[in-house]
Structure 1
Amino acid sequence: MNMFVVIGLGRFGSSVAMELSDLGHQVLAIDTDEAMVQRMADKVTQAVVADCRDQEVLRSLGVKNADCGVVAFGNDIGNSALITLNLKELGIPRIICKARDHSHEELLLRIGADKVVFPERQSGRWLARTLDKREILSYVELSERYGIVKIQVPDSWENKTLRELDIRSKYKVNIVAIQSADGGLQTVPDPGYRFRPGDLVFTLGKNESNERLIMG
């Protein structure tokens, strides 16, 4: 279980916060809008009304103890940049930011963001699952629409073959490699391979197709 701080509780931020909480993590959710905070009060570990542009406010909330910070609003470039800087100066190990365009993305990366996301490409639930190390081990973006995801084999796949699961037809993704529990690697997977606990699977597809597979 990790501790996450999610700043900005619009549709995207709320989705990230709730999914992380559902996955068993501690979540501190922050916004300046009291109504938004109230809606999240019983869905996360703690929901607080606060102005995150003030570093001392963040410090007083114990944000420096977080394993990851998510700056989940992007309409005001100046404010998102300032909050990102505050999190960086507080020593947050990983900072994920929402951006509205590529210029905004470049600025956030320059000042210390570890990853920048565009909500029109990635849902809040998808980002939360990506941050949850138990489920998605890594994600490589190949283009705006395509990526490769490395996941632990789902329980429902165990003792079934690649042919039986028919993943390509069902989810519109390709299994490009399988790393078996004993360390062996298949880069051209055999359709008759039977999945075992501990296997790792690499899938290639559109972001929405990879997301659909992960969400089950």
Structure 2
Amino acid sequence: MRVAIAGAGAVGRSVALELTENGHQVLLIDKSPGSIRSDVVPDAQWLLADACEMSSLAEAGLHTCDVVIAATGDDKVNLVVSLLAKTEFSVPRTVGRVNHPSNEWLFGESWGVDVAVSTPRLMSALVEEAVSVGDLVRLFTFRQSNTSLVELTMPADSPYTGRLVRDVPWPRDVVLVAILRDNAIETPDPERSLEAGDELLFVTAEDAEVEIGSLLSPKS
């Protein structure tokens, strides 16, 4: 997979390092000479250019990218990069970093953003996830498809504690993707039982979230 990252600051470099270690081709773009630190991510390509300029994106070969990540510290730049990537270069997937929570509403389809990553929202969701049992916690939203990654920790008094996955009448537009148990990831096989304390991860339509909570934790 070829990935272009606009913004070679600490965030962009960290993402690039992770991706290159996983075998992906990564191009980092930044207009600041001080940000070009090829020694930090030696396996990545680097381009000193303004990612808001069409000519720079053309030089970067954005039309050959599978994913573009707008990871600068400026929300305006991230929106422009996402929009150009999607509308001018037909990039299949765009990810936009949200720096200021008040701008989160802008990071959607109208600005070419497929996935918006808001650090404040993600941190608050992780805090909720760490302390909530029986409450549904939204971890991530895929704006283009109006679906979310949500988590629910099975309470001991759930009517489905001890029942098999296949015996649960799962709501429509809800997919159980993983069960986290005893620091291990379990596949949601039909014959696997659900136990108290299991962290269940779902991909679900937003309007089905309440149904999951009502089903597995009626008191929530």
Whole-Å separation in 2 of the counterparts to 1:94 and 1:170: 31
Kept in 2: contact 1:31–1:51 (CA 8 A): yes
Residue type of the alignment partner of 2:115: K
Q: CA deviation at 1:88?
A: 1.2
Structure 1 stretches lacking a partner, 5+ long: 123-138, 152-161, 180-184, 191-201, 206-216
The 8 Å contact of residues 17 and 41 in structure 2, kept in 1 or not, is answered as no
Which amino acid in structure 2 is aligned with residue 43 of structure 1?
P
Question: Is contact 1:29–1:44 with CA below 8 Å preserved after alignment?
Answer: no
Q: Give 1:80's aligned residue.
A: 78
Q: Is the 8 A contact 2:95 2:116 kept in 1?
A: yes
How much does 1:77 deviate? 2.5
Rounded to whole Å, the distance in 2 between the matches of 1:84 and 1:91 is 10
* Corresponding residue for residue 23 of structure 1: 22
Question: Aligned partners of 2:22 and 2:182: how far apart in 1?
Answer: 28
1:142 partner amino acid: V
Give me the whole-angstrom Cα distance separating, in 1, the residues matched to 2:42 and 2:112: 29
Matched-pair identity in %: 23
* Alpha-carbon distance, 1:103 to partner: 3.7
Instruction: Give the paired residue count.
Output: 151
2:117 aligns with 117
Contact 1:41 1:47 in 2 (8 A): no
1:188 equivalent in alignment to 2:176: no
| 1:178 and 2:188 matched | yes
Shift of residue 189, structure 1, vs aligned partner: 4.8
Q: 1:149 to 1:84 in 2, by over 3 A?
A: farther
Tell me how far 1:9 sits from its aligned partner.
1.5
AA in 2 matched with 1:87: A
**Offset of 1:106 from its aligned partner?**
1.8
Over alpha carbons, which structure has the higher Rg? 2
- The residue aligned with 1:142 is 150
Name the counterpart of 2:96: 97
Between the aligned partners of 1:38 and 1:13, the Cα distance in structure 2 is 11
Q: Is the 8 A contact 2:28 2:46 kept in 1?
A: yes
Cα offset, 1:22, TM superposition: 0.3
Q: Helix, strand or coil for the counterpart of 1:178?
A: coil
Q: 2:188 corresponds to which letter in structure 1?
A: I
- Distance change (3 Å), C-alpha of 1:105 and 1:14: same
For the residues of structure 1 that align with 2:63 and 2:40, how far apart are their CA atoms?
21
Partner of residue 168, structure 1: 181
Q: Residue 113 of structure 1 aligns to a residue in which SS?
A: coil
Runs of 4+ in 1 over 6 A off after TM superposition: none
Look up the match of 1:156. none
1:41 offset after TM fit, Å?
Answer: 6.6
Cα gap change, 1:169 to 1:41, in 2 (>3 Å) = closer
Shift of 1:16: 0.8
Please say if residues 21 and 43 of structure 1, whose CA atoms lie closer than 8 Å, have aligned partners that are also in contact.
no
* In structure 1, distance between residues paired with 2:81 and 2:17: 21
TM-score norm. by structure 1 comes to 0.59
**Aligned mates of 1:69, 1:29 — CA distance in 2:** 10
Distance in 2 between the 1:80 and 1:56 partners?
17
Uncovered stretches (5+) of structure 2, i.e. residues with no partner: 124-146, 152-174, 203-220
Higher relative contact order (CA 8 A, sep 6+): 1
